[in-house]
Structure 1
């Protein structure tokens, strides 16, 4: 079934949103190093902090695009982005200055972080710079979490993350926190009590919500050893766990994954710490994910032949390709095309 026949109205709305030239989503990696070594991680940490020329390029890119934008959203990713807090602050300060001069511009920023460095003062500093939404992963109670979300020095991470979450809960900061709970066969037995604790501790606060996700084999060095919940079993498992989260909780306590992946959207680009431009944060180092390069002057060189397969779901109306274009991604030849300030990530 095509995406259009499955839900024609949603397909039309998402297509229109994704093709808007006055809307831009940037996923920025201020560093690709990490202070964790999670057992299921797929990243190789081969690239360090964002180079000064790339920082300059990001700021110039914003300058080139901002007058033509109605909406700008920035997602901070890594590695662990908070290891490069000065980079985040420099770029965010530049964006907020530009946004303040343009009242019609809608600007929002979020961050995927392991939460270890997300203390209350840091969250407060970033909130003033427009970073007000966070995604923090938990793998269950401390005894389970500390076996899988391990710090680079071998120590556990749960206590520090939990303390930071409590500090944010007890603050009046204008932030939202999505608690991404990873589910595996090994932690499934502990999930009911843990989700009850999450609900009682955080979900009375409308700033917190929960996303339940199965751990998957995403190309990491330990994939062969991962015990994962099968795709056929996950819907039933998810339904049972969602009932626990939703019990006596606010209607927005459960967060649903989007129907269309950001990587399918022409107006969404990933900028790695080394200036390589991509589409997907999962197949980070796959050559097919290197769709172009950011230049220090803020222009972007894009290979249309590499970019086009990421957008194929719109032409084929294939819902699977739209929800995860990395699956079944074909090979592509590389021909770089320099794009001007108003045609960034064109699918043509």
Structure 2
């Protein structure tokens, strides 16, 4: 990597990576259903499990692309992806067979999961499928977490998730676990003690890191009622909490900071929904501007250039802000509604969400 900056402070190497035809980043939604009903969730759960024609299309797309790739990364998202493990296994086994025919390729895979079903046996199965990175959300200590990350049946979820996290720690699996800890006005006072517990239980293990993220107005039925931190409050709170982690034995490498370029800004990153619709952003799922095309059963991608172009505009406008989240200020085709963008809800308009944040 050079010290030169090519676009808006983005290193040359990152620019080349984003535009390389030899790199492919796919985000796959094996289902858009979920066993949770988190109070701040933006999804409507109107779509079910990925059907066989879409599964076949994903496989054939990868058959076409793998011979020309040197890097392939697949991210599993949802809904809750682990309630559709058969789809994950089917596609992953196909990918592993394909990568064995291309020994020069680097293949990595991750899952964004609520971890309710991530018991040791499941973790081992996923590991055998080369899924070795996790992002798992927690909303604070049990009494607070269970008020917001609620099961579909109304029950709490903390104890099951914590047990599964301890199971991951007890394993010898070569994995990376990002504990995404949500920060809200309701849990802020409890965060120092909770992060101390996180540090004690997990951060001495080199496989675990923490990502602190403020919950925003991401859309959904409870959006207007849910209290969130303002931008300046959020920055200050997260800065202080990160210092707490780093200053008490965690080490600076224990706090994870995402890169400055959103995956949705990268030309070689695509989202494939359970329906076969192709998009760029995992949050604005109901936004027409995020429907940029369709995956056909034969593996062909039919993309709409007029919809794709606005997601990539940060590169031509030389804008680090747009590259960081192209959903903000996304240009619209004539007649398309303007949905919510990163916590900014225009009066009287419907809502969508915040850029890929996990759940």
Q: Deviations over 1:62-92 (max 9, x none)?
A: 0000100000000000000000000000000
Specify the alignment match of 2:194 in structure 1.
Answer: 194
How far the C-alpha of 1:6 sits from its partner, in A, is 5.0
Q: How far apart, in 1, do the equivalents of 2:98 and 2:160 lie?
A: 35
Specify the alignment match of 2:354 in structure 1.
Answer: none
Specify the alignment match of 1:24 in structure 2.
Answer: 24
How far the C-alpha of 1:4 sits from its partner, in A, is 5.2
In structure 1, runs of 5+ residues without a counterpart are: 335-348
**1:308 lines up with 2:347 in the alignment:** no
Q: 1:195 to 1:294 in 2, by over 3 A?
A: same
Q: How far apart, in 2, do the equivalents of 1:113 and 1:36 lie?
A: 11
SS in 2 for 1:42: coil
The answer to whether the 8 A contact 2:270-2:278 is kept is yes
Runs of 4+ residues deviating >6 angstroms = none
**1:49 lines up with 2:49 in the alignment:** yes
Q: How far apart, in 1, do the equivalents of 2:135 and 2:8 lie?
A: 30
**1:178 lines up with 2:198 in the alignment:** no
In structure 2, runs of 5+ residues without a counterpart are: 336-359
SS in 2 for 1:252: helix
**1:260 lines up with 2:261 in the alignment:** yes
Specify the alignment match of 1:339 in structure 2.
Answer: none
* Matched positions, count: 330
The answer to whether the 8 A contact 1:25-1:73 is kept is yes
Specify the alignment match of 2:350 in structure 1.
Answer: none
SS in 1 for 2:224: helix
Q: How far apart, in 1, do the equivalents of 2:151 and 2:332 lie?
A: 36
The answer to whether the 8 A contact 2:58-2:299 is kept is yes
Q: Deviations over 1:242-281 (max 9, x none)?
A: 0122221143211002100000000000000000000000
**1:69 lines up with 2:69 in the alignment:** yes
Q: How far apart, in 2, do the equivalents of 1:106 and 1:257 lie?
A: 21
TM-score normalised by L of structure 1: 0.93
Q: How far apart, in 2, do the equivalents of 1:291 and 1:191 lie?
A: 40
Q: How far apart, in 2, do the equivalents of 1:82 and 1:113 lie?
A: 7
How far the C-alpha of 1:26 sits from its partner, in A, is 0.2
Specify the alignment match of 1:285 in structure 2.
Answer: 286
SS in 2 for 1:124: helix
The answer to whether the 8 A contact 2:41-2:220 is kept is yes
How far the C-alpha of 1:139 sits from its partner, in A, is 0.2
Specify the alignment match of 2:331 in structure 1.
Answer: 330
**1:122 lines up with 2:127 in the alignment:** no
Q: How far apart, in 2, do the equivalents of 1:118 and 1:263 lie?
A: 27
Q: How far apart, in 1, do the equivalents of 2:69 and 2:153 lie?
A: 44
